[in-house]
Structure 1
Amino acid sequence: MPEPRDANAPRALRIAISGYYGFRNSGDEAVLKSILLALEAEGSAQGVRIEPIVLSGDPAWTESMYGVQAAGRMSPGGLLRTIARCDGLISGGGSLLQDVTGSKTIPYYAGILKLAQLLGKPTFIYAQGVGPVLNRCMDGLIRHVMTRSAYVSVRDAESAELLGRMGVPSERISVVPDPVMGLPLPKGAEATAGDARDRTPVVGISLRRWRKDGADLIRAAEALGELARRRPVRLRFLPFHTPADAEASREAMERLGELGPGSSAELAEPGDDPQRMLLEVSRCDLLVGMRLHALIYAAGQRVPMLGISYDPKIDQFLARLQERAAATTEAMDASAFADAAERLLDGSAAWRADKAPLIDRLQREAVEPAQHIVRQLRQKAKR
């Protein structure tokens, strides 16, 4: 016979979460971890218990990694059953509604939203980056699911402008930071960078293969090699998406050339836990990043950064810190890049002081979607 429910126990709200999860991409997994932590904290603050169910490419791995329920993301019958037993569905974060990575991406994620809406479940857009959308035929589908969502938040003004051009009313769109701005270090861990006077400065490096001919990696290696010949640095390559980023990092390492006295290069192996990668970044004195979430990790931990842009989302995030990309995958001046790196290594304290108000604001605003979502679901449950 089941035990009677405690009348004082928090009301449970079951929320399905849709995104690019379960594929061991550190950036996307960091988004998921940030959303889970924000929902848990906000549920506790509002007196409800949140029970997430993550739609994952590897449900068993996701359950083991985060200690939450997970379900397969591709089975139509399984998705129907999972969403039907939830109180609502979150779509995000990350760049889900774009067709640069494939023509099926927008129909898939919009289809998940539409399925939830057909089942009468409120849907919530959580700090998504929308676009680029090359196929204008997708505009109507995106507008349809967005206008029928209970809450819409995007991670930059450019995404809001794109939705506005598609016909989504601007007053329904909130612009908030990427949820990873709120990701904390693992419990018991502390950042150790910030004063490199008595040790070799650590330069964290997040590279990915973008150009098919590898010219971007060659240029990055040339610039990093230039820096490592000018002064002692510890080049620590951080693969955010394995195994692809590890392979790109090894290729760049092979092209560094002879380093200067006291300099070294190494490949980190932080594993799949996004908070372990965050800890890696926190221990750097400078972060050189192509991956968006490498730059977001650095900002959250007050680590000076140099961005290499391959996508508008890199420029959009850097703009929120009043920064510009130091290079792109199409053009990089090795000497100028090394000059910029040296300025940041020598002026890290000034950089942190200058950026602190901007970063503080982003971190405060990063939890706003969770606050709205939990509040709306709690109010709906009372009716």
Structure 2
Amino acid sequence: MEENKKLNILMATMQMGFGGAETHIYELCRALVRDGHTVTVASAGGRYADMLEAAGIRHVTLPLHTKNPLAVLRCRAALKKLIASEQFDVVHAHARIPAFICGSLQKQLHFRFVTTAHWVFRVTPLWKRLANWGDRQMAVSEDIKQYLIDNYGQFADNISVTVNGIDTDSFAPGGDFAAIRDELALSPSAHRIVSVSRMDESRGKAQLCLAKCAGRLLEKYPDLEIVIVGDGVLSAERNLLADVREIADTLEKKHGRKIIFTPGLRTDTPAFLASADVFVGASRAALEAMSCGLPTVIAGNEGYIGIMDESRRDLALKTNYCCRDCGETTEAKLFADLCKLLDTAPEARRAMGDYCRRVILEDFSAARMAHDYETMYASLPAVTPDVPGKILVSGYYGFGNAGDDSIAAALVAGIRAYAPDLPITFFCKDPKNSAKKYGVRAVRRFNIPAVLREMRTAKLLISGGGNLLQNTTSSRSLFYYTTIIRMAKRHGLQVFVLANGLGPILGERYERDVARTLALADRITLREPQSLDYAASLGIPHDRMTLSADPALLLTPADARRVDYILKNVENVPLFAVSLRSFATLRSEEVGGADEDRFAATFAAEVDAIAARTGAKPLYILMQSSRDRDLTEKVNAAATVKGEILGGLTAREIMGVLERCEFVISMRLHLLIYAVAIGKPPLGISYDPKIDAMMRYMGCAAPLRVAGLKGGALADAAAALSGAPLSADAIERLKSLALADAASAVQMTR
């Protein structure tokens, strides 16, 4: 979708009453409208719905808060009519029921569909089956992003992470609280603790702990007042406000004055915060308090972080200030921290509050949140996956191999950089997942009737990238790829053999077959000189071929926060990356007759030697978990210096992890390519001429042979690595060649 385009957006959520998600949506809508977009909100209504309309933002009231089948059908009919008539650029759902309804309409109405995950909910088999998370997802923290990956199989690169954006003008120091002081008859000079939260049992634990601390706090601070703003909103849960009010009544009778004030649900939160000396709470409420310059104790149902300061900033951010997995909130912890704050001199407390305010201005502005969403909207494909592709892509896609998946992602990104509206179809093993991952149409690669249907309307077949035309792993796969090319030519398509590695091809009959197939191609680019020379030896004229580069070089690393999350359990020491692959599919001559178990023992000894000489620890990366894990675990078990094993990462995540490593050792070709793309020194372990050829082409150190890992050879080579393997200019030259292939592909469809 075009960047900077002013969009017509439909937000669909359950309701717009009191809560963190509702406030998030309210602030997002206002920020998007300030940026020039048009926003309509559909929900069951609530206080924030009234405030949206007061701000000039349209609200449509629908019973989106209930699973009642009749209500769901009513909402579906109403949303279908609304979406069809308004022609929204983006439909954006913020809860599972609205997402299910909107998702059921997408295929029929062909709109761009995104969702936001605000929380982690219990996953049932039914919800897992019914859930529709759209073309792109937004999570409000890295752990919620991981929840979407682990529980719903969402693709990490399609999930953005934003913040709970705060209106820092409304939530600012020095607010006026005269009205609530008069309303509640608050003392003008008391020590005052304020907390804001829903009071359902799943949310109000910290507030109940605060009320239970009140008696002990009064012994130290006789003028104490506590204000707990909020109420229960979920009928299915116990309301803890009743318990708080019972404690409040007991204290009032004992002390002859009101100690704990419970004004219920309110939207004038800034006024209550303006009255506070200290705040207790979590999530969005804590962020709003920090924006007001209040010293804040981060505490909630999910856990306890404590007094917000520099030492706790990273931890708070990782959990989006929700305290997940941060220990239990207890009266003892809360009492101790509140005493620390209330005993602190006013000037020092103000400095603590000023720090909290700076954190919000740096990390949590509403403008930053809106920008994150606008970036996600711009990343949406301009065409929906149900449109037949003008470009067909054939390759080793959908097998869970990070290297080939990175080629797919780079191809799509490269083509869309030149032609955002051009529909693309992939032939792959897992059409459903591939369509979701890359925002393309996808059909099963061996579903020949479906493949033929796609060819009837397409203009171009891309065969590649990768090392497709070889038969060392399987003659069946070679037959498949050459057959697809011939079928495409019979249907009048142009054929682009793109950034291929060629060979080895065993047997003259197979070489003749490949030569005849390549002769049919309209354009051929090879990813390294050895493949170019091999094609020439098969009789393909040099003037029909061009030297190119692997498309994966075009990918960029995941952002730093994502990498921090991935490495959260990895020791903070220098690291070197290692990627191995099983010998099971390799021929004996490719590994010099080496035995996998003996290799594991030898490699483990080399890992220990490298660790001793460099002071770095291994970090094992699985490029294809199904084939790489067994050997990797054998090596790690045999080595004295243990390393973490990371699997299931996307190419961009792997590149982000490699940026944190000192150097890279790999049997997997694409891990070596990723290292070159980010300028990290790679050391290849070769079992295939393609690795030797690519390392030469990229200007890297010569790889070691699998059978040559003896007597510290690997440790010597690793210790010798220094600096980037290529100059920045050389890396950019390779990337420009890969990008030129994408431009050529687009040109061939015109």
TM over 0.5: yes
Return the match for 1:200 from 565, 573, 582.
573
- Is 302-311 or 136-145 further displaced after alignment? 136-145
Q: CA deviation at 1:321?
A: 2.9
- Is 97-106 or 329-338 further displaced after alignment? 329-338
Q: Say whether residues 1:67 and 2:439 are aligned partners.
A: yes
Q: Distance between the aligned counterparts of 1:29 and 1:249, measured in 2? A: 21
Q: Distance between the aligned counterparts of 1:92 and 1:231, measured in 2? A: 39
Report what 1:274 is aligned to.
Answer: 651
Q: CA deviation at 1:272?
A: 4.8
Give the direction of change, closer, same or farther, for the CA distance of 1:241–1:39 in structure 2 (3 Å limit).
Answer: same
Letter in 2 for 1:265: G
Q: Say whether residues 1:185 and 2:562 are aligned partners.
A: no
Q: Distance between the aligned counterparts of 2:532 and 2:614, measured in 1? A: 43
Render the CA deviation track for 1:11-45: whole Å, top value 9, x for unaligned: x962110000010101111111111111111225x
Q: CA deviation at 1:86?
A: 1.5
Report what 1:323 is aligned to.
Answer: 700
Return the match for 1:252 from 635, 647, 650.
635
Report what 1:87 is aligned to.
Answer: 459
Letter in 1 for 2:406: A
Q: Distance between the aligned counterparts of 2:700 and 2:708, measured in 1? A: 18
Report what 1:26 is aligned to.
Answer: 402
TM-score by length of 2: 0.45
- Is 220-229 or 103-112 further displaced after alignment? 220-229
- Percentage of matched positions with identical amino acids: 28
Return the match for 1:129 from 470, 488, 501.
501
Letter in 1 for 2:488: A
Q: Say whether residues 1:338 and 2:715 are aligned partners.
A: yes
Q: Distance between the aligned counterparts of 2:436 and 2:664, measured in 1? A: 30
Report what 1:367 is aligned to.
Answer: 739
Letter in 1 for 2:580: L
Q: Say whether residues 1:294 and 2:667 are aligned partners.
A: no
Letter in 1 for 2:472: V
Q: CA deviation at 1:322?
A: 2.6
Instruction: Report matched runs for 1:108-147 at 5 Å.
Output: 108-147=480-519
The answer (yes or no) to whether the contact 1:91–1:125 under 8 Å persists in 2 is yes
Return the match for 2:621 from 238, 245, 270.
238
- Is 137-146 or 362-371 further displaced after alignment? 137-146
Letter in 2 for 1:38: G
Instruction: Report matched runs for 1:211-230 at 5 Å.
Output: 213-214=595-596, 215-230=598-613
Q: CA deviation at 1:143?
A: 2.0
Q: Secondary structure at the match of 1:200?
A: coil
The answer (yes or no) to whether the contact 1:99–1:135 under 8 Å persists in 2 is no
TM-score by length of 1: 0.85
Render the CA deviation track for 1:213-262: whole Å, top value 9, x for unaligned: 20333332221111123343221000001122122211111121x23xxx
Report what 1:308 is aligned to.
Answer: 685
Give the direction of change, closer, same or farther, for the CA distance of 1:231–1:150 in structure 2 (3 Å limit).
Answer: closer
Q: Distance between the aligned counterparts of 1:36 and 1:188, measured in 2? A: 24
Q: Secondary structure at the match of 2:393?
A: strand
Q: Distance between the aligned counterparts of 1:36 and 1:371, measured in 2? A: 12
Report what 2:534 is aligned to.
Answer: 162
The answer (yes or no) to whether the contact 2:580–2:622 under 8 Å persists in 1 is yes
Return the match for 2:469 from 87, 97, 112.
97
Give the direction of change, closer, same or farther, for the CA distance of 1:110–1:179 in structure 2 (3 Å limit).
Answer: same
Report what 1:195 is aligned to.
Answer: none
Q: Distance between the aligned counterparts of 1:18 and 1:272, measured in 2? A: 23
Q: Secondary structure at the match of 1:267?
A: strand
Q: Distance between the aligned counterparts of 2:701 and 2:466, measured in 1? A: 21
Q: Distance between the aligned counterparts of 1:189 and 1:158, measured in 2? A: 40
Pick the structure with greater CA Rg: 2
The answer (yes or no) to whether the contact 1:201–1:232 under 8 Å persists in 2 is yes
Q: Secondary structure at the match of 2:469?
A: coil
The answer (yes or no) to whether the contact 2:581–2:628 under 8 Å persists in 1 is yes
Unmatched tracts of structure 2, length 5 or more: 1-83, 88-381, 565-571, 584-590
Q: Distance between the aligned counterparts of 2:625 and 2:659, measured in 1? A: 20
Letter in 1 for 2:643: A
Return the match for 1:50 from 422, 427, 432.
422
Q: Distance between the aligned counterparts of 1:357 and 1:168, measured in 2? A: 31
The answer (yes or no) to whether the contact 1:131–1:159 under 8 Å persists in 2 is yes
Render the CA deviation track for 1:112-135: whole Å, top value 9, x for unaligned: 000010001111111000100002
Q: CA deviation at 1:279?
A: 1.9
Give the direction of change, closer, same or farther, for the CA distance of 1:280–1:188 in structure 2 (3 Å limit).
Answer: closer
Letter in 2 for 1:266: E
Q: Secondary structure at the match of 1:50?
A: coil
Q: Secondary structure at the match of 2:411?
A: helix
- Is 234-243 or 133-142 further displaced after alignment? 133-142
Q: Distance between the aligned counterparts of 2:736 and 2:582, measured in 1? A: 33
Q: Secondary structure at the match of 1:96?
A: strand
Q: Distance between the aligned counterparts of 1:118 and 1:169, measured in 2? A: 23
Work out which structure has the larger RCO, using CA pairs closer than 8 Å and 6 or more positions apart in sequence: 1
The answer (yes or no) to whether the contact 1:99–1:105 under 8 Å persists in 2 is yes
Q: Distance between the aligned counterparts of 1:272 and 1:110, measured in 2? A: 31
Q: CA deviation at 1:323?
A: 2.8
Q: Say whether residues 1:173 and 2:556 are aligned partners.
A: no
Q: Distance between the aligned counterparts of 1:153 and 1:40, measured in 2? A: 20
The answer (yes or no) to whether the contact 1:13–1:377 under 8 Å persists in 2 is no
Q: Secondary structure at the match of 2:398?
A: coil
Give the direction of change, closer, same or farther, for the CA distance of 1:58–1:226 in structure 2 (3 Å limit).
Answer: same
